[in-house]
Amino acid sequence: MPARLPRGIWRHAAAALPASALVVGLAMTSLPADAATVADTVAPSSVAVSAPRADAPVPTTEPTRDLREGARPLASRFEVRPRPPVRKPAPVSRATLVLRRAASLRGRPYRYGAAGPRYFDCSGFTSYVFRTAVGRSLPHSSAAQYRLSHKIAKSAIRPGDLVFFVSYGHVYHVGIYAGHGLIWHAPHTGDHVRLARISTSSWVAGRVL
C-alpha cells in the first residue's frame, strides 16, 4: 500500500506548486506502485510538449549562407542542357539508288527476253533496275530506251545514265554507266550481270533520270 502523507501536506503543496503538477501528484498517490512508475515517465514529457521552452530556436526564412554570399541555388547547378540537334542523313540521289540496285543483281544469269528478277537480257536488266530503284518505267528494248532517253554528249555522261552500243546506226545493247568508263549490264548468253569496261568505241549516251 502507498505510504500515508502527513496531515495538511496537500494544503502547503497546493500553494507552492502549479495546478498541473498538483494533478500529477494526486494521480500518482491514487495509483498502484507500478502505475505510478509509468506516470513518472509519461507526465514530464507531456508537460514538456504542452509548454515549449522559451529558448527553443525559432524558424526563420532567412536565406542560407550560400545564397547570402551570392552562390547559385543548388537546383540551378544541375541545369538540364538541351540535346544537340540530330543531324539528318544527306538525301541519296536517284543515280546512287540506281547503281546500288544494279550492283545488288550482280551474278544473275543472262537469258534472252528475260526481265528479271532471276534472269535478264540487257534491256530487261536496265528496265528492271530503274523501275525497282526509282519507279522509272522503261520499255523492254534497247532501241526503244534510246528513243525515249534525252541524248547527251559523251563528255557530259555521269553515273546513272544509259550507254547504248551502236552498229551501223542500229542500237543493239544497253548498260548503266557507273563512272570511270564502267557499266553495269547483262552482256550475252552464257554470261551474267556484272560491272565491266565499255568494250567498244561505238556507243552513245542517253539520260532518263
Give yes or no for a contact between 108 and 116, defined as CB atoms under 8 angstroms apart: yes
First-to-last alpha carbon distance for the chain, in angstroms, is 116
Question: What pLDDT does 136 receive?
Answer: 96
Name the pLDDT band for 53 (thresholds 50, 70, 90). low
- pLDDT at 5 > cutoff 60: no
3-class secondary-structure state, position 206: strand
Set of cell numbers at residue 113: 527476253
Of 63 and 110, the structure prediction assigns the larger pLDDT to 110
Q: What is the pTM of this model?
A: 0.60
- Given the DSSP bridges, would you call strands 194-197 and 182-185 parallel, antiparallel or unpaired? antiparallel
Specify whether the CB–CB gap between 149 and 143 falls below 8 A: no
Question: For residue 100, is pLDDT > 60?
Answer: yes
pLDDT band at residue 15 under the 50/70/90 scheme: low
Give the residue numbers annotated as catalytic, written as ranges: 122, 173, 185
* pLDDT tens, position by position, 102-158: 999 999 999 999 999 999 999 999 999 999 999 999 999 999 999 999 999 999 999
pLDDT at residue 181 greater than cutoff 60: yes
